[in-house]
Amino acid sequence: MSGLLGLTMMMLGAPTVRHEFVWITGRDDVSAVNIAGTFNGWNGTAHPMTPSNRDGKVRWVGAVELPFGKHLYKFVVNGKEWIVDPKAKSEDDGGGNTNSILMILPEDYSQPAEVADSRITASPILHRPTLPSLNYDQGKLNFRLSVRSNDVARVELELKVGGKEQPPVAMEKLTSDQYFETLIAKVPWDGKTLVEYRFRLVDGYLLKTYGVKGLGDEEKFKLDPKTYQPFRVPSWVERTVFYQIFPDRFENGSAKNDPKEKAPWNSEPTYWNRYGGDIAGVMKRKDYLKALGINGVYFNPMMLGNSNHRYDPCNFFLIDPEFGTNQEFIDMTHALHKAGIRVVLDQIFDHVGIHFPQFVDVLKNQEKSKYKDWFFIKKWPIEVKQNPNYEAWYNAESMPKINVLNPEVQKHLLESVDFWQERAKLSGWRLDVANEPPMEWWRIFRPHVKKNHQDMWILGEVWSNASQWLQGDQWDASMNYPFRFASLDFFAKKSITGEHYVNRLFEAYSWYAPQVSRNQMNLLSSHDTARFLTDIGGDKALMKVAATAQFGWPGTPSIYYGEELGMEGGHDPQNRRGMRWDLAVESNPMLQHYKRLIRAKTEEPVLQAGAPFRLKGEWGSDVAVFGRRYADQAALVAINRSETPQQVEILWEKGLPNQAWTCAISNKKIYAKEGRIQIRIEGKSSVMALPENSLAK
């Protein structure tokens, strides 16, 4: 629970502390400073600071209510310069960014924690009858309780179901770090019966109950089936493997819509050049996608835009003519769906391009424009220039922000959603910079999108803990960049052990309800990152090992176009090269590895719906091991990042299903003998052991 526990506890209604941030500067070019961090989704405008002049230096001050735990933050200067706090400790977030650290601990942490000392630290003990502490998933109620690490000997869940007392249920550890620990218990529930519950904590001779009013309270929490609303997400997502397509760089299928200045396909990419990829190109390669085995495509923006990436939309109702026509796009979505491939479309509900007609009208008519309230104007007259006098994404003058709480703007945007959902065969929306629009907008957006399309998937882009948007009233999932960051630390930097790597994965898993974690988009690369193969120095063997972890962990894997072929590329624009179709041959070992993983994920229920669990045993620091369990089946994943073979011995505890498995990668048989599993993992290789009666047989 370490890195972003603070945000999770804030969502649960934990006690908060008013912390004052201070930044002192002698600079005279500063007009505004804000605090951005894990506590506000890294929103650069959410918490403004106030200046005062003292001894020739300006002192910027801002106070924020924060829960106990660890928080990462930066100061945002003039809306675009993100700097660390010079007075605080800093750490790398795994994505190449350095952030300042703030740790807030309660006063009762001054005494050391020790199991069986007959003392229980009260302040971190927390349960609220809301997500993710209380959740209904796969026919079971999930109960979570947060406690101090190494502080309580035993915790049990006391239950009364339908008025009848039930045997106490022992709670098991879900996640832990040096400060906090989360315990979990799962209980079958018919969804119709009143449930009453509380927690019993035992340490030494001390026994305490935790009820509605906290530690020491006897009153039970009540779950009324008449009022309880489970958080339901689209079930198809956990069975899906996505393929991300950057439209301009995938394939040029028609010369009719080529850009006026088209760059050669294999030329050096820049921030501005265009290669001519289009809808016809996707259709040309439809059979390749089908043969690959993927069953979902995530398209970067395809609406009319100024740039080659189209993240500056100028018309929400018009496909960019360089990609094709509206009808061609609509036909493509239906053709892909018929081939068993769902379509998720990227869209921006935060800002627009400077050629957006309503913004053009404001530029022309200034204060007299009937669209002036569609935008955030700081000062009249406005003009497009550096440091614009209107709010813009990242203070970029080419991307003015739109006021999504303006009823006219809402009507316009929601009509565009209806336009595409009624015509195209869409299965979801990926929301760009989704942490920046106000939450009120997403609470309007969700029911509108789902009104006639309950299975429509809503995926938000956030690079950290997205708990505050995943409470059942906004999105279904977020892009799981924390998975990538943990993978970078383990495979590329080798700064953490295999055990720590698995702990990081469980940490991110624990932020959400299990059904949300199974909806998370797990990625190693994207259009916003360097390609993972480049990050690990071009080591293709290690890349395959990382892919095994990606496909084995709960969530929907996303393959960035060409990743399955071994394409490389540094940060933007190097990561957006033209697709290397010359590598798309059956003899490509990387392609064959991905096909095996895709088949396993799309056909094996335990990899789709199985909860992760920790495995005990003996293995080295270069090895990471975890299991998945669903119904009466279990799978295990073991990966070795080192060059030398590793011997792994797993204790297969009583109650765990399966005595025999087949590796989906090597087809080798694996057996449990006398409660132990012995596996030899070759250097830079991996094992994905699936039930023997599964597809791998």
Least confident of 501-505, 581-585, 646-650, 693-697: 693-697
Please give the pLDDT value at position 105: 87
One fold for 134-223 and 605-691: yes
Given a cut of 50, whether residue 88 has pLDDT beyond it is: yes
CATH 2.60.40.1180 fits 605-691, yes or no: yes
Cα distances from 364 to residues 58, 107, 354, 371, in angstroms, run 38, 59, 12, 11
Q: Output the pLDDT for position 15.
A: 61
User: Is residue 293 within 8 Å of residue 357, measured between CB atoms?
Assistant: no
Residue 44 binned pLDDT confidence (cut-offs 50, 70, 90)? confident
| 653-662 mean pLDDT | 87
Q: Which of 196, 238, 320, 461 is catalytic?
A: 461
Q: Please state, in angstroms and as integers, the Cα–Cα distance from residue 623 to each residue in 72, 417, 501, 607, 679, following that order.
A: 29, 46, 9, 20, 12
Catalytic residue, candidates 196, 432, 507, 622? 432
- Which conformational region is residue 479 in: left (phi greater than 0), alpha (psi within -120 to 50 degrees), or beta? beta
Asked if the model's pLDDT at residue 272 lies above 60, the reply is: yes
Find out whether 60 and 22 touch, Cβ atoms under 8 Å.
Answer: yes
Write the burial class of residue 195 (CB in 10 Å: 0-12 exposed, 13-18 middle, 19+ buried): buried
Q: Is 651 in contact with 673 (CB distance < 8 Å)?
A: no
% of the chain at pLDDT higher than 90: 87
* Residue 692 pLDDT greater than 50, yes or no: yes
Q: Are strands 633-640 and 623-630 parallel, antiparallel or unpaired?
A: antiparallel
- Are the beta carbons of 592 and 666 closer than 8 angstroms? no
- Summarize pLDDT for 219-263 with one digit per residue, the tens: 999 999 999 999 999 999 999 999 999 999 999 999 999 999 999
Residue 290 backbone dihedrals phi, psi, to 5 degrees: -65, -45
pLDDT surpassing 70 at residue 696: no
Residue 12: phi and psi, rounded to 5, are -85, 0
CA 14, 460, 564, 525 dihedral sign is negative
Query: Catalytic annotation on 461?
Result: yes
| Start-to-end Cα distance in the chain | 38
Q: Confidence class of residue 275 from pLDDT cuts 50, 70 and 90?
A: very high
> Helix %, strand %, coil % for the chain, to 5?
25, 30, 45
- pLDDT tens for 397-410 read 999 999 999 999 99
Averaged pLDDT score across all residues of the chain: 94
Under 8 Å between Cβ of 145 and 171: yes
Residue 268 known to be catalytic: no
| Closest to 542 (Cα-Cα) out of 550, 95, 614 | 550
Pairing of strands 33-37, 69-77: antiparallel
Res 11: pLDDT? 42
Q: Please state, in angstroms and rounded to a whole number, the distance separating the CA atoms of residues 574 and 270.
A: 8
The residue-averaged pLDDT of 342-350 equals: 98
pLDDT at 43 over 90: no
Q: How many CA atoms lie within 13 A of 286 on its CB side?
A: 19
What's the rounded Cα separation, in Å, for the pair 555 and 611?
Answer: 10
Asked if pLDDT for residue 148 goes beyond 90, the answer is yes
Encoding tokens for residue 409?
Answer: 């703007």
User: Which residues, in sequence order, are CB contacts of 677 under 8 Å at separation 6+?
Assistant: 617, 636, 648, 649, 650, 652, 670, 671
Average pLDDT over residues 460-469: 94
296-299 and 242-245 beta bridge pairing:
parallel
Residue 8 predicted with pLDDT over 70? no
The whole-model pTM stands at 0.90
- The domain spans of the chain are 5-104, 134-223, 242-350+404-427+501-603, 351-403, 605-691
- The residue that leads in pLDDT, 376 or 178, is 376
Position 97 scores a pLDDT of 78
pLDDT of residue 4: 42
Sign of CA dihedral 134, 140, 145, 149: negative
pLDDT bucket at 92, cuts 50 / 70 / 90:
confident
How far apart are the C-alpha atoms of 680 and 678, rounded to whole Å? 7
Residue 528's pLDDT band (boundaries 50, 70, 90)? very high
Q: What's phi and psi for 292, nearest 5 deg?
A: -65, -35
Strand partners, 624: 639
Correct CATH for 134-223 of 2.40.50.100, 2.60.40.10, 3.40.50.150, 2.40.50.90: 2.60.40.10
Report d(CA 232, CA 473) in Å as an integer.
10
- C-beta separation of 41 from 466 below 8 A: yes
Instruction: Indicate if the pLDDT at residue 695 is higher than 80.
Output: no
pLDDT at 439: 96
The CATH topology of domain 5-104 is: Immunoglobulin-like (2.60.40)
Percent of the chain's residues with pLDDT above 70: 96
CA pair distance 466, 435, nearest whole angstrom: 8
pLDDT at residue 54 greater than cutoff 80: no
Chosen CATH of 242-350+404-427+501-603 out of 3.30.365.10, 3.90.180.10, 3.30.420.10, 3.20.20.80: 3.20.20.80
**Domain 351-403, CATH 3.90.400.10 — does that match?**
yes
pLDDT at 653: 86
